[in-house]
Chains A and B, each alone.
Chain A
Amino acid sequence: DGGITQSPKYLFRKEGQNVTLSCEQNLNHDAMYWYRQDPGQGLRLIYYSQIVNDFQKGDIAEGYSVSREKKESFPLTVTSAQKNPTAFYLCASSKGTGAEKLFFGSGTQLSVL
């Protein structure tokens, strides 16, 4: 079954804790993205990666970090520096260069305890 898999579905973070959200794709896509979805604000881009071992900051990268060691995987770490982490996080991928169609995962809801 091809697609994008995000895990976990729900995640809770304690104060001062770093947490990592997983995103895996088996679509053989080059590009991967992380978006944050807040009510009334739509999707805001956190980080994106065009190829393995390369990534760029999006519009709201502060307090987040990513890695792209494998083509299939693009994990997102929400660090303790992110003061308002409660949100729904969406991972997406696209085939290649240019304005390509995005394929989305089912999302991770992160909440602060």
Chain B
Amino acid sequence: AQRVTQPEKLLSVFKGAPVELKCNYSYSGSPELFWYVQYSRQRLQLLLRHISRESIKGFTADLNKGETSFHLKKPFAQEEDSAMYYCALSGTGGFKTIFGAGTRLFVKA
């Protein structure tokens, strides 16, 4: 069965510090992984997806199939990064996307 686990409900870091939001998944097939972000009073939106191998707003995420992880990282956190972050999983060729419970990131000045 598909499952996404985000072990941290809240992550608090100081501005300029590195940040890592953890995501582990369970899926028997070939996974498609995503990170979505919800800033205050804004809609949930895609931050990045693993197949794009891109860096958005300084964030990167590497799919580690051995550890079944897709952790989100940024070397230097900014106050505007404060938001709710959701890791999401979809299967190849499938429509069903499932989400983790989310991690609230708070970047302190």
Using a CB–CB cutoff of 8 Å, the interface residues on chain B facing chain A are 4, 6, 9, 32, 34, 36, 43-46, 49, 86, 88, 90-102
Contacts and interface: CB of A to CB of B under 8 A. Distances in A.
A98 B97 CA distance: 10
A99 B32 contact: yes
B86 A43 contact: yes
A50 interface: yes
Main secondary structure of the interface of A (DSSP, over half): loop
A45 B88 CA distance: 12
Nearest to B43: A104
Interface stretch (A11-19, A33-41, A74-82): A33-41
Interface residues of A, number: 24
A40 B6 CA distance: 11
Contacts of B102: 42
A85 interface: no
Interface string A43-83: 11100101000000011000000000000000000000000
B75 to A, nearest CB: 25
Query: In the complex, which of the residues B43, B88, B100 has the most CB atoms of chain A within 10 Å of its own CB atom?
Result: B43
A45 B44 CA distance: 15
Nearest to A97: B93
A102 B46 contact: yes
